[in-house]
Amino acid sequence: MSREIAPFGLRMPPQLKEKLGSAAEKNHRSLNAELTSRLQYSIEQEEKGFSVTEPAQPYSADGVNIERLQECNQLVLELLEETGREGTPEQIARWSAFAYSKINPDGTIDLKSFLKVITNTIKKETNKTVRSTA
């Protein structure tokens, strides 16, 4: 059967080839068999209605990781509760986006920087809201 399959040249970055080679070795197959298996799997997933070209994590259209943004939103809500303050939905969304911007490349949040800036911002903006409604 392998003689019925036409050879196919494929160019790929060396790092990707190394990773695939390691995976092939781990799975006890040739690089060709590993590539064929992975491609077949992706076709089967598409046929089932799953997207194989989109990131596995839930990202918005503009590349925001929804789960991490929800974590930031929760952080803002906890901070508001701890300080006994409230914010409008628009403020909370803006503060959550700010927290999201403080996520480091390794996935951690620079809490010291975030808490310092956001606490002052919340105090300043919630005081404005209180004054404007009084």
Confidence of residue 107 (pLDDT cuts 50, 70, 90): low
Per the listing, tokens 């701890």 go with: 82
Copy the structure tokens of residue 23. 């995976």
pLDDT single digits (tens) 11-63: 888 888 999 999 899 989 999 999 998 888 888 877 777 666 655 556 666 66
| Higher local confidence (pLDDT), 32 or 3 | 32
Find out whether 24 and 30 touch, Cβ atoms under 8 Å. Answer: yes
What is the mean predicted confidence (pLDDT) over 128-134?
Answer: 45
pLDDT (0 to 100) of residue 131: 42
Exposure of 94 in the CB half-sphere (CA atoms within 13 A): 10
The C-alpha atoms of residue 12 and residue 84 are separated, in whole angstroms, by 55
